[in-house]
Structure 1
Amino acid sequence: MKKLFKKLLALSLLSMVILSFTGCGAKPDAAVKGFLDTVKKQDFSAAAKYMSNENDKSEFEYDSKEQEQMIKAVFSKLDYEIISTSKNGNTATVKAKITSCDLPKISAKTIADLLPTMLASAFDEKKDEKKQEEMILQSFLNSINAPDAPKTVTEVDIKLVKDKNSWLIEGNDDLLNAMTGNFAKITDTLNK
């Protein structure tokens, strides 16, 4: 009888633990936290599992080693705060405040720092373009990783859809822009 009681007690405790974890995963804000935490840790394959659309999952694939270095540096500085959550049937919106490196300011600093060197080497017939690219990348990474690197805070509404027992994030430009420190502003400026 005593053994049966111990087994039942252990089973019921295990059931409560499992249910409490299941309950946490079934909330929209838990999905957003899980997504942002995995992005911050640069575990992009795990982060992709929180996305609703296969096309959104391709956002986490790298084109080059340099791109990988920059993305990992930016996302390692990511911070967030969940402000509110609202559910409406199978959809939800989580309002979050996302803090990231201010990439327009960092890019401007990188350009300003390197402009004299780049201009001086522009007329050099022996210039090494690969070396110049490495210098730009290193300067950019140094600026991102500097303790006084400029930050930007963006409030964003993160849209989610319910899929069976979990909530999945619908990726959009606002979320991507908030996470990348207004990177879209740089590309918009360059495309004008």
Structure 2
Amino acid sequence: MKKLLLLTIILVLVFTMGACSQKNKSNTPENSVEAFLDSYKNGDIIKSMEYVENKTSTEIEQIKKNFIEDKDSKSSQAFLKTFSKIEYKIINSDVKKDFAIINTEITAPNLSKIIGQLIEEISSDNMSTDSIQSREDTLEKMADMDMIIGDKLLEKINSDNIPMVTKTINIKLVKKNGSWLIKTNNEFKRAITGNLVNTIYFD
């Protein structure tokens, strides 16, 4: 569970913390939104950060560790698989000088619902285990909880009937040094994490 929460917290923080922005090649706000979401879908989280206004080197390093160095872990694989299932459609744009609002429809796996189901299943399994195993055996099993959670989460994400959630949001961007950068907020984070922000109370 700690591994799952760590990955979630990192994703939320990297869209929240403030710092200097990197220059990117997009010269329209629509291009920046598409570039961010396409990179995010492809699992290139580092690349997607080039299109975000607020980020810190610390969060970038944490993402590198969890999604590049530790990419073979089941939890990381599950999140990357989740990102790949995101679909989006730009509906309209409102651009005024150095500020823009891009109305976008985003459909993503409903991670809030999926992880809620996962927690219920694991809690039920643990109660059942306590009734048939010794306390020592139960503690030993709990030591492998991160692996169990990763396996179950990946199984749910790979399911054909994975629950999805669709949100239509206004993505705000600001033009800095010739580049359009996304100004993230809770609405944006909910959309790209399938309401997971609500689940862990980062509102």
TM-score range, shorter chain: 0.7 to 0.9
Query: 2:144 — aligned with what?
Result: 131
1:11-50 matches, within 5 Å, as 25-50=26-51
Q: Answer whether contact 2:108 2:194 (CA < 8 A) is retained.
A: yes
State how far apart, in whole Å, the 1-side matches of 2:49 and 2:159 are.
Answer: 29
Shift in CA distance, 143/172, structure 1 to aligned 2, threshold 3 Å: same
CA distance in 2, matches of 1:90, 1:169: 12
Report Cα offsets for 1:59-79 as digits up to 9, x if no partner. Answer: 783475455334313212111
Q: Distance in 1 between matches of 2:43 and 2:58?
A: 14
Structure with a larger share of its residues in helix = 1
- Residue 89 of structure 2: which of 81, 87, 107 is its match? 81
Equivalent position of 2:8 in the other structure? none
Structure 2: gaps spanning 5 or more residues: 1-24
Amino acid at match of 1:178: A
**Contact 2:51–2:180 (8 Å) recurs in 1:** yes
The alignment of Structure 1 onto Structure 2 pairs a total of residues equal to 166
Distance 1:146 1:81 in 2: 24
Aligned to 2:18: none
Q: Aligned equivalents of 1:57 and 1:81: distance in 2?
A: 31
In structure 2, do the counterparts of structure 1 residues 57 and 28 end up closer, same or farther at CA, with 3 Å as the change threshold?
Answer: farther
Distance 1:180 1:60 in 2: 20
Give how far 1:157 is off: 1.1
The residue correspondences of 1:85-100 to structure 2 (distance < 5 A) are 85-100=93-108
Matched, 1:120 2:128: yes
Counterpart of 2:144 in 1: which secondary structure? helix
Cα gap change, 1:98/1:49 in structure 2, threshold over 3 Å: closer, same or farther?
same
**Which stretch shows the higher mean deviation, 31-40 or 69-78?**
69-78
SS in 1 for 2:160: coil
Cα distance in structure 2, aligned partners of 1:55 and 1:155? 28
Q: Which moved more, 1:83-92 or 1:112-121?
A: 112-121
Superposed CA RMSD: 2.5
Match of 1:162 in 2: 175
Q: Which residue of 1 aligns with 2:193?
A: 180
Of 161, 168, 182, the residue aligned with 1:148 is 161
Paired with 1:43 and 1:147, the residues of 2 have a C-alpha distance of 24
The two structures have a TM-score, normalised by structure 1, of 0.76
